């Protein structure tokens, strides 16, 4: 299997670019107290990326924080993880403090990450370019994933765009959407575990 060969040998240097959009909730009279961009963005800061340690999702990510990601992939619909492989470090920029819009976050790979490009600009990660829409804008030279909730026609989705330059391009294009769909599923499960579905780190209203 080509993906397996790439993992073992690190062959192929190429561009990778994927996107995933996951439905989170529909805004209705019954859901409007929690089905909001603010609440979903807050949950997104608990689930910015697939952490190596699931307990890390209990804490919301802060701007410029560094995290360790695990090594998982999907084969025939089944998720498999390898705990003995080195973890994959990232740095996350969050919201206005990170130079983004209020509800955005972006994860950039660091040295040691399987998808890290050592030739990435020093200011990575950074916002998406605005030349086209979120799925087709020109990559900004970083190896990163961008996540933001989106409201359209009464439905809130979580949008994820990941791109970069380096090894494992085919692997990332195939596995990226599956990995982040799984992450969004874990986030939705955490939301549903709370009666009010409100994010535990949501700022208190005055």
Q: Residue 167 sits in a domain of what CATH number? A: 3.30.530
8 has pLDDT over 70: no
Give a yes or no: residue 96 inside a domain: yes
Give a yes or no: residue 188 inside a domain: no
Cβ-based neighbour number of residue 33 at 10 Å: 11
Q: Is residue 64 very low, low, confident or very high in pLDDT (cuts 50, 70, 90)? A: very high
Give a yes or no: residue 192 inside a domain: no
Give a yes or no: residue 198 inside a domain: no
Alpha-carbon distance of 70 to 86, in angstroms, equals: 8
What are the angstrom distances between the C-alpha of 95 and each of 42, 120, 154?
11, 21, 23
**pLDDT by residue (tens digit) across 151-177?**
999 999 999 999 998 778 888 999 999
Side-chain-side CA neighbours of residue 103 (13 Å)? 19
Determine the structural domain holding residue 110 and report its residue range. Answer: 2-175
Give a yes or no: residue 143 inside a domain: yes
pLDDT, position 186: 98
Give a yes or no: residue 186 inside a domain: no
pLDDT, position 10: 46
Q: Is residue 12 very low, low, confident or very high in pLDDT (cuts 50, 70, 90)? A: low
Q: What is the mean pLDDT of residues 71-91?
A: 93
pLDDT, position 9: 42
pLDDT, position 169: 83
Give a yes or no: residue 22 inside a domain: yes
Sole residue written with tokens 């560094």: 66
Count of domains for the chain: 1
The reported pTM is: 0.91
CB of 126 closer than 8 Å to CB of 106: yes
Give a yes or no: residue 196 inside a domain: no
pLDDT, position 204: 73
């Amino acid at each position: 299997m080509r993906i397996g060969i790439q993992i073992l040998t690190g062959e192929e240097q190429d561009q990778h670019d994927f996107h995933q959009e996951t439905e989170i909730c529909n805004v209705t009279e019954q859901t409007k107290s929690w089905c909001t961009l603010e609440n979903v963005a807050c949950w997104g800061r608990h689930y910015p990326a697939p952490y190596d340690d699931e307990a890390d999702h209990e804490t919301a990510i802060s701007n410029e924080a560094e995290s360790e990601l695990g090594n998982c992939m999907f084969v025939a619909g089944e998720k498999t993880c390898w705990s003995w492989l080195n973890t994959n470090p990232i740095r996350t920029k969050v919201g206005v403090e990170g130079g983004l819009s209020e509800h955005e976050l972006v994860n950039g790979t660091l040295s040691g990450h399987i998808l890290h490009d050592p030739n990435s600009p020093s200011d990575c990660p950074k916002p998406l370019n605005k030349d086209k829409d979120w799925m087709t804008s020109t990559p900004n030279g970083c190896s990163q994933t961008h996540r933001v909730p989106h409201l359209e026609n009464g439905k809130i989705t979580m949008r994820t765009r990941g791109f970069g330059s380096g090894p494992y391009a085919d692997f990332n294009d195939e596995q990226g959407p599956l990995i982040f769909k799984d992450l969004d599923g874990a986030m939705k499960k955490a939301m549903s575990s709370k009666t009010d579905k409100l994010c535990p780190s949501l700022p208190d209203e005055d």
